Chain A
Amino acid sequence: DQQVKQNSPSLSVQEGRISILNCDYTNSMFDYFLWYKKYPAEGPTFLISISSIKDKNEDGRFTVFLNKSAKHLSLHIVPSQPGDSAVYFCAASAGTGNQFYFGTGTSLTVIP
């Protein structure tokens, strides 16, 4: 059973506009959430994270929003750049030192 879901397999955005990637989860015990970026034939690289005690975390062009009541998080990229084109995975964990659960990924294409 998929505990972390990314329902949009792909997203296309014009350069300079905002990209919004969404992620839903089912396990209310999850208390730490991460976004990873992945290029083809490479390992994912960490992008940004958020703890369940926060509802927003910002790092440069990247902002993650967490809505615990809706069990939903989103990643905003502003402004989007062609180099942002990649697959984005969200992940979640419950407690410390435990396994991470990954979504199926959203392929973002930023059109120049």
Chain B
Amino acid sequence: DGGITQSPKYLFRKEGQNVTLSCEQNLNHDAMYWYRQDPGQGLRLIYYSQIVNDFQKGDIAEGYSVSREKKESFPLTVTSAQKNPTAFYLCASSPRGRGHYEQYFGPGTRLTVT
């Protein structure tokens, strides 16, 4: 089945540790995105990538880093510089090209940092 997988579903870390969230898609989509959702807030864009080896900062990129070495994979690292890392993280992908396309979302990873 085609789709987006995020692992793990729940992740716990101690403050001061870096943590990497996984996102894999087999939809052959060029574009991939990372969002963060906090209670009572919408989805805020952290980073996005429209093509392999290229990515752009979103609205809240500080304290995060990404890589896009393969089309299928777009891992997100939450660094110790991120002041409020506890949140629900969503990865998405979409085709790229002429015309408009919706984004397809993974199931999300809930990160808790104590």
Contacts and interface: CB of A to CB of B under 8 A. Distances in A.
Interface in A63-112: 89, 91, 93, 96-97, 99-105
A43 B100 contact: no
Given A41-B110, A97-B31, A97-B96, A46 B102 contact: yes
Contacts of A93: 100
Contacts of B42: 2, 4, 6, 89, 102-105
A43 B97 contact: no
A59 interface: no
B63 interface: no
Contact of B40 (A97, A99, A104): A104
A97 B33 CA distance: 12
B97 A97 contact: yes
Nearest to A50: B100
A46, A91, A99 pick with most chain B CB within 10 angstroms: A99
Given A34-B102, A96-B99, A97-B50, A43 B108 contact: yes
* Interface size, A (range): 20 to 34
B47 to A, nearest CB: 10
Interface of A: 2, 4, 6, 9, 31-32, 34, 36, 41-46, 49, 51, 89, 91, 93, 96-97, 99-105
Given A100-B33, A105-B42, 16 more contacts: A43-B108, A46-B102, A46-B103, A49-B102, A89-B42, A89-B43, A91-B43, A96-B99, A97-B31, A97-B96, A100-B45, A100-B103, A102-B35, A102-B42, A103-B42, A104-B41
Interface of B: 4, 6, 9, 31, 33, 35, 40-45, 48, 50, 56, 58, 88, 90, 92, 96-100, 102-108, 110
